[in-house]
Amino acid sequence: MRPLIFILYTASVFLFPATSIAESCAAPPLNIPLRNVSTAPGLLHIGIPIDFGSTRQIVALTPSLQLDNTFIPRYTNTCVHNDVSTGARRATPLVLRRDGYPGRLEELGTTSSNASNTDTTNWWVECADMYGGGYDPSLSQTLHDTRTNNNSDSEPWFATIKHTSWTFVTEQFAFSDYLSVYTATNEALPPKTNTTTSFILSNVNAQFGSLGASLLGLTPSSTLLRSLHADKLIPSTSWSLTNSSLCLGCIDTKSSQGDFHTFKPANRTANPKLPCLLQTTIEALNWHPDPTVEGVSLITSAFTACIDPGVTFLVLPPSVRQSFTKVLGREVAAEYNDETAFKGAPPNASGIGLLTVRVEGGLEVNVSIAGAASKATASTPTAADLDHDSQQRWRIPIGKGAWGAYGEETWVLGKPFTDALVLRWDAETQEFGLANRNPSFSLLPPTSSSSPAEHRDDDDEDTIKPLGCTSFPSIDKLVSTSPSTGIVVGTAIGGLVGGIVFAMAGLFFFRRGVKGARKKYEPLTGGAPTAAADNVSLRTLQSQQHLVEHRHYSAGSWGGGAYGAGPLSPPPPSLRGSFVSGKSVGEVSADDGAIYEAPEGGTGVPTKRGQVELS
């Protein structure tokens, strides 16, 4: 009996291997848009807007697989060149004669006349444009600088290039669009919107370690994703990426077409020429000058390349670049680390060509090359323009590597390649996945004034599925009513309350007038009438410091006539003073023929009253 049980147990182990138990999602799905972010006046940068620090410094980050920690660009003018504290005019020409910098910065000019236009302010703007903004630590009260960078195991790339001019810092972090995306998706308010985690910050007057963008680390060891998941801001540490959004802990099933090709993470330290996590073999590479034209092969043998959305261009072997130049029949004006500039205008008006890349497993990806990206020269000719007769350049995002990538002789399929894909990481299976993007899927990311829900169909809500977890938690939605019902009910209640308040205010002032001011002018009751019909007998009136008894007669004004007879009493206090004090200043009696009016104002002004005689 025991041998039979042992045989059954052994068979179950081999036939039904153990699988990891997926956990429930820690939060609802979070589909963050990639959009245009204003990084400086007149500059827009495509990325994921992030709020750093207590003063909300906004930086546009680029998703990347190069760093485990998210990189914050310090707001400095040493982003890609040496320290220019000794003077921009002297340092800039020396820098531009060197290789290893962005093409647009290398073409700023090396002559003394052009160098005068490249001052410190221009470098700040160039860095903000290139890295999606900048971060100033002195403006934040929540920054904590650890002043250490000894955690070399977490950043093997910096250890490989021996870059040490950086430190770990802890700072507040929040997605700028978190609140709008959360409320649009769940119709509820989130319990919290930010977290505190560690980041990489370059030292003062130091370069950025040959990084070509501000990198949002999405590696399997991402410190940011772990912090967000621990604070229950995202469902899991899995994610899916398209050219328009980053879905954290989720995937949109409509964004891709075809099956996903899976890849296990590679060892970044095994091969010095492949210091990346996602690697693949390029089996075919063809150029189509037009989507309807048959392609021409650019390679004779397969080669291995890295895949990273954080590299903003393609890095191809020299033989491929030479074949591409021959196929185009164009003369190369300049070849930079991040781009290649051909002489003359683009080959056609539409300017759209295709690089068809086939990777291992049979996945074919069409990479669009925008031929319409011509760049006319500025008003002041640069050194590169003076060397050539043409005033135009056809620039394509194919470079020779080094700056902005993984160094020299490391071939990379960067953002132009990943924009045509749906790239995902499944933390449950520990696998990367690649699939072609659905052509009908929205190419344009939502604007800053709109929410992702406005760009989706009514039935798209169910297309967001969990990734790396089983099911999303239920959220109590806010109570909502139709706009017509709310307007009707609000108008009725507001009208009723307003009417009651208005009626009470009118009644209050009416009753106060009857009991207050008018009481001073009640007619005298009883007693014989005086000789004159308009003779008014005033009883004792309270003055400021004494009491005076006097009579008013209709003959003449109180201010004229009998001045020589002696001092005159002042006129009675005004009604306005009675209203303010709330107290009666005396009793006033009048004949039956008297009118109810104040001593001053109306018909009771001194010019229309009778002359006063002292009694």
pLDDT band of 525, cuts 50, 70, 90: low
Q: Would the pLDDT of 533 be above 50?
A: no
Q: Give ∠ CA 342-346-349 in degrees, rounded to 5.
A: 175
Q: What percent of the chain has a predicted confidence (pLDDT) above 70?
A: 64
CA 346/CA 331 separation, integer angstroms = 12
Q: Three-class SS of residue 71?
A: strand
pLDDT band of 449, cuts 50, 70, 90: very low
Q: Would the pLDDT of 459 be above 60?
A: no
- For position 344, what pLDDT does the model report? 83
CA 167/CA 137 separation, integer angstroms = 12
**Does the reported pTM lie above 0.75?**
no
- For position 244, what pLDDT does the model report? 94
- Best CA proximity match to 406, nearest among 541, 209, 588: 209
> How is residue 354 written in tokens?
């295709």
The better pLDDT of the pair 508, 298 is held by: 298
- Give the mean model confidence (pLDDT) for residues 433-440: 92
Burial class (CB in 10 A: 0-12, 13-18, 19+), 557: middle
The better pLDDT of the pair 140, 4 is held by: 140
- For position 349, what pLDDT does the model report? 55
- Give the mean model confidence (pLDDT) for residues 210-225: 95
- For position 486, what pLDDT does the model report? 65
CA 80/CA 209 separation, integer angstroms = 8
- For position 524, what pLDDT does the model report? 54
Which residues 6+ apart lie within 8 Å of 536 measured at CB?
552, 589, 590, 591, 594
- Give the mean model confidence (pLDDT) for residues 64-69: 95
CA 390/CA 342 separation, integer angstroms = 10
Helical spans, DSSP H, in 335-390: 383-386
Q: Would the pLDDT of 389 be above 50?
A: no
Task: List, for residues 424-436, the tens digit of each pLDDT value.
Answer: 999 999 999 999 9
342 contacts 328 by C-beta, under 8 angstroms? yes
Q: Would the pLDDT of 52 be above 80?
A: yes
SS3 labels along 489-516: HHHHHHHHHHHHHHHHHHHHHHHHHHHC
- Give the mean model confidence (pLDDT) for residues 294-314: 95
Q: What percent of the chain has a predicted confidence (pLDDT) above 90?
A: 43
Look-up: residue for tokens 């006319």?
376
Task: List, for residues 6-51, the tens digit of each pLDDT value.
Answer: 444 444 444 444 334 568 999 999 999 999 998 877 888 999 999 9
> What's the whole-number average pLDDT of the chain?
75
- For position 79, what pLDDT does the model report? 86
CA 145/CA 170 separation, integer angstroms = 7
245 contacts 33 by C-beta, under 8 angstroms? yes
The better pLDDT of the pair 534, 150 is held by: 150
- Best CA proximity match to 587, nearest among 527, 544, 524: 524
- For position 437, what pLDDT does the model report? 95
- Give the mean model confidence (pLDDT) for residues 453-471: 70
CA 481/CA 143 separation, integer angstroms = 43
- For position 181, what pLDDT does the model report? 95
Task: List, for residues 465-516, the tens digit of each pLDDT value.
Answer: 999 999 999 988 765 545 566 677 778 888 888 889 888 888 887 777 666 5
- For position 460, what pLDDT does the model report? 47
The better pLDDT of the pair 429, 541 is held by: 429
The better pLDDT of the pair 193, 530 is held by: 193
- For position 443, what pLDDT does the model report? 44
pLDDT band of 393, cuts 50, 70, 90: confident
Q: Where are the beta strands (DSSP E) in 266-371?
A: 279-288, 296-297, 303-307, 314-315, 332-335, 340-343, 352-359, 364-370
Q: Find which of 252-261, 343-352, 513-522, 523-532 is predicted with most confidence, using mean pLDDT.
A: 252-261
Q: Would the pLDDT of 457 be above 90?
A: no
Neighbours of 335 (CB within 10 A): 17
The better pLDDT of the pair 578, 477 is held by: 477
- For position 70, what pLDDT does the model report? 95
Q: How far apart are the first and last CA of the chain?
A: 139
- For position 263, what pLDDT does the model report? 96
CA 174/CA 183 separation, integer angstroms = 15
Least confident of 18-32, 244-258, 322-336, 462-476: 18-32
Question: What DSSP letter does each residue of 191-233 carry, written as one string?
Answer: S---EEEEEEEEPTT---TT--S-EEE-STT-HHHHHHHHTTS
- For position 143, what pLDDT does the model report? 92
CA 360/CA 613 separation, integer angstroms = 120
CA 477/CA 490 separation, integer angstroms = 22
Least confident of 203-217, 325-339, 464-478, 557-571: 557-571
Burial call 414-437: b when 16+ CB within 10 Å, e when fewer: bbbbbbbbbbbbbbbeebbbbbbb
Least confident of 226-230, 240-244, 267-271, 561-565: 561-565
CA 184/CA 527 separation, integer angstroms = 83
- For position 39, what pLDDT does the model report? 80
